[in-house]
Structure 1
Amino acid sequence: MIPLLDLKAQYRQIRSEIDAAIMRVIESTQFVLGPDVDAFENRFAAYCSAAHCRAVNSGTSALHLALLAAGIGPGDEVITVSMTFVATTAAILYSGARPVFVDVDPVTWTMDPALIEAAITPRTKAILPVHLHGLMADMDPIMEIARRHRLVVIEDAAQAHGAEYKGRRAGSIGDLGCFSFYPGKNLGAYGEGGAIVTNQPDLARRISLLRDWGQESKYNHVVAGFNYRMDGIQGAVLNVKMDYIESWTQARRSVAAHYDRLLAQSPLMRPRPPSHSRHVYHVYAVGLPRRDETLKMLHEAGVGAGIHYPVPVHLQKAYAGLGHGAGDFPVTEALAGEFLSLPIYPELEPAQVAEVVGTLEKITLVEAA
């Protein structure tokens, strides 16, 4: 069996360092925030080319606090995309604002900047692009539109640790950048975790307050806040992994390049990142008809493929109240019906990549016959 993701292989590589780091936190009893979280924040801020990082308990919390810190609230609108995990939309609703969707570009699969201005109303306060699968959205036109209309830009970089756009790191271009450290992410905790990065000290200070019950000092609550603090153990785990994030990223990019070579003559839709971007391949997705049948046959053949994401947010039952229906965002809907995620992780061997592609090609030939 070739799994979609192999977290055990990663753990085996760094087991002694991880175990020692966790034990240090247990012995110190600094279980919430503390020095390991502080150290991680400093390292991750530098990694993202940002001045400040505030670690929180999940990527969803990061999005929620970024919106609140930016002053987004009831009656406001936030422009985003439906081709994402539901947390992006949920966080906007948590803030009291309304998500306004635009479609994605059919080549990059990220927010189509050409559609943004038509979605702006007097209530629009922010743009929230999603860096899908590890590829950054087209940030220059997004930022130009935002600055012209005096809108905040919050990057959903949950899948894009270390990704770059024209030499600039994910999270460093907008006013705020939000990351998830869910275990399966390129930089994953051993549980939930997230972070917000920013170059604006006032936003960083507000996030510090909001994540810790609004406390300026113990029992001195100056704003109504939340219990969104990162655990000390997660900070320690992530600190260890910071030593490896670049080598793991290069390994992912090598796996993706091998897929590209083997699929070069295939009619399957493949990721095509612009030359100015550094794709970090949290997901390597291909597009094909009869996706669901192909997925079933791959599983039967021992290939652990998956789907990110089979139903766009605007068609999810939980968000029916937003008033959208089939056909509203045709590119998003077409991609959701065709995307198939192939196994990708740093430890995946070239022979395994070849086996995945060979199995996929056999299945598609059978289906075409």
Structure 2
Amino acid sequence: MRFIDLHSQYDALRTSIHSRIDQVLAHGQYIMGPEVVELEGRLANFTGANHCITVASGTEALLISLMALGIGPGDEVITTPFTFVATAEVIVLLGARPIFVDVESDTCNIDPDQIARRIGPKTKAIVPVSLYGQIANMDEVAAVAQPLGIPVIEDGAQSFGALYRGRRSCATSLVGCTSFFPSKPLGCYGDGGAIFTDDPDLAHAMREIRTHGQSDRYYHTRVGVGGRMDTLQCAVVLAKLERFDWEIERRQFLGQYYSERLSGIGVSPVTVRSDRTCVWGQYTVFIKHRDRVREKLQAMGVPTAVHYPRPLHRQPAYEKCDPHAWVPNSEEVASMVMSLPMGADLSREDQNRVIDALSIAIEEVGE
């Protein structure tokens, strides 16, 4: 059993993927080819954002967004410590300092009620993370940020396709960022990402930054990076878009089945709020004695993962960034979360096998 079954997805889309790749090989525009523009238009229409800027990765999406907003040395950016390292990494790379706000214990997304107390004169942005496929409470974050003129950037690397009060992930704030890493809800066959915004000036700046700050060939109006998404990777995502709506529905169907069956054995998944949907970028549950349960599952041939075992404020590279961080929920959930196999092509047979194995593992480990 695979943790994420990309092989079955490829088999279903083989003809379209090969056709798209062959077109790129034929025209030879491997950097900024026509598929880049086509994909940006398709993704903008999908999210409802006015502008989409494809970039080299989800990390580059966050980095370029912060650069476009002028974040730099001495600034502070509020985010969550319970996320993949890239969220804080890009802040530190720009000389700024991440300020960590705790998460909600049931959703694992940033707790908007705790943001205000961490805002200070150096706060220049807020970066909520839409973890596990569910969008954070962006309206409550905005209610804190907007009166103070603080921009909000959604890190939607795991939630692309999800809805929040009728709006798509990456179109719920000034800037939204996502990743097309192969295991994401919409993935390519390498690294890739995208930035979304309604602000034309920000979009213009982001487009320049991703091409080394060029406003014209060899004319550099700002400091930039080599952050373009390869044409071949754009071609792959275009092919995958053909059945993305179906994959979203399938993920939600599988997630509901997991939740219904697991409730019978006393396992609680991450809570999905009633005003939003979840695309289950990771189907994640809370488990006591997690490491022992994982060992049992591994012995039964069931793969699992932990996203994430150590919050960022406890990571050696980042533990000095915010010495005043008080994030007990982040520390607790880090010791309990466990992700189960998930993907649009997960079969009912394999899903039942996971559930049955988990039931046995929990019973063997005991309380």
TM-score (norm 1): 0.97
Q: Indicate if the aligned counterparts of 1:3 and 1:305 stay in contact, CA closer than 8 A.
A: no
Q: CA deviation at 1:324?
A: 4.1
1:157-176 equivalence runs, <5 A: 157-176=156-175
**Cα distance in 1, alignment partners of residues 204 and 149 from structure 2:** 22
**Cα distance in 2, alignment partners of residues 296 and 90 from structure 1:** 31
Partner residue in 2 for 1:357: 355
1:168-247 equivalence runs, <5 A: 168-247=167-246
What's the CA shift string for 1:257-288, capped at 9, x where partnerless?
11011012332231221111011100111111
Partner residue in 1 for 2:10: 11
Q: CA deviation at 1:328?
A: 3.3
What's the CA shift string for 1:324-343, capped at 9, x where partnerless?
49x93110111111111010
Partner residue in 1 for 2:313: 314
Partner residue in 1 for 2:335: 337
Question: What RMSD in Å do the two structures reach over aligned CA positions?
Answer: 1.2
- Secondary structure of the residue that 1:78 maps to in structure 2? strand
**Cα distance in 2, alignment partners of residues 76 and 166 from structure 1:** 32
**Cα distance in 2, alignment partners of residues 238 and 265 from structure 1:** 38
Query: What is the letter of the counterpart of residue 210 of structure 1?
Result: I
Q: CA deviation at 1:66?
A: 0.5
Q: Indicate if the aligned counterparts of 1:285 and 1:342 stay in contact, CA closer than 8 A.
A: yes
Q: Indicate if the aligned counterparts of 1:315 and 1:324 stay in contact, CA closer than 8 A.
A: no
Query: What is the letter of the counterpart of residue 174 of structure 2?
Result: D
Partner residue in 2 for 1:28: 27
Q: CA deviation at 1:97?
A: 1.2
Query: What is the letter of the counterpart of residue 344 of structure 2?
Result: P
Partner residue in 1 for 2:78: 79
1:245-264 equivalence runs, <5 A: 245-264=244-263
Query: What is the letter of the counterpart of residue 337 of structure 1?
Result: S
- Secondary structure of the residue that 1:178 maps to in structure 2? strand
**Cα distance in 1, alignment partners of residues 88 and 191 from structure 2:** 19
- Secondary structure of the residue that 2:228 maps to in structure 1? coil
Q: Indicate if the aligned counterparts of 2:312 and 2:319 stay in contact, CA closer than 8 A.
A: no
Query: What is the letter of the counterpart of residue 302 of structure 1?
Result: G
Partner residue in 1 for 2:124: 125
- Secondary structure of the residue that 1:27 maps to in structure 2? helix
Q: CA deviation at 1:161?
A: 0.7
Q: Indicate if the aligned counterparts of 1:258 and 1:350 stay in contact, CA closer than 8 A.
A: no
**Cα distance in 1, alignment partners of residues 244 and 306 from structure 2:** 24
**Cα distance in 1, alignment partners of residues 63 and 337 from structure 2:** 28
- Secondary structure of the residue that 1:196 maps to in structure 2? strand
1:42-81 equivalence runs, <5 A: 42-81=41-80
Give me the identity figure in percent.
Answer: 38
Gapped regions of structure 2 (runs ≥ 5):
none
- Secondary structure of the residue that 2:320 maps to in structure 1? helix
| Stretches (4+) displaced over 6 A | none
Q: CA deviation at 1:323?
A: 5.0
Query: What is the letter of the counterpart of residue 252 of structure 2?
Result: R
Gapped regions of structure 1 (runs ≥ 5):
none
**Cα distance in 1, alignment partners of residues 208 and 144 from structure 2:** 30
- Secondary structure of the residue that 1:320 maps to in structure 2? coil
260-269 vs 229-238, greater mean Cα deviation: 260-269
Q: Indicate if the aligned counterparts of 1:73 and 1:97 stay in contact, CA closer than 8 A.
A: yes
**Cα distance in 2, alignment partners of residues 224 and 330 from structure 1:** 39
Partner residue in 1 for 2:138: 139
Query: What is the letter of the counterpart of residue 142 of structure 2?
Result: M
**Cα distance in 1, alignment partners of residues 45 and 93 from structure 2:** 29
**Cα distance in 2, alignment partners of residues 270 and 114 from structure 1:** 23
- Secondary structure of the residue that 2:115 maps to in structure 1? helix
**Cα distance in 2, alignment partners of residues 321 and 89 from structure 1:** 12
Partner residue in 2 for 1:347: 345
Q: CA deviation at 1:95?
A: 2.1
**Cα distance in 2, alignment partners of residues 264 and 295 from structure 1:** 19
- Please tell me whether residue 104 in structure 1 is matched to residue 103 in structure 2: yes
**Cα distance in 2, alignment partners of residues 40 and 96 from structure 1:** 32
Q: Indicate if the aligned counterparts of 2:61 and 2:195 stay in contact, CA closer than 8 A.
A: yes
What's the CA shift string for 1:303-345, capped at 9, x where partnerless?
11111111111111222332549x9311011111111101011
**Cα distance in 2, alignment partners of residues 354 and 7 from structure 1:** 19
**Cα distance in 1, alignment partners of residues 160 and 236 from structure 2:** 16
Partner residue in 1 for 2:153: 154
- Secondary structure of the residue that 1:277 maps to in structure 2? coil
What's the CA shift string for 1:134-192, capped at 9, x where partnerless?
00111111001111111000000000111111111111121100000001111001100
Query: What is the letter of the counterpart of residue 367 of structure 1?
Result: V
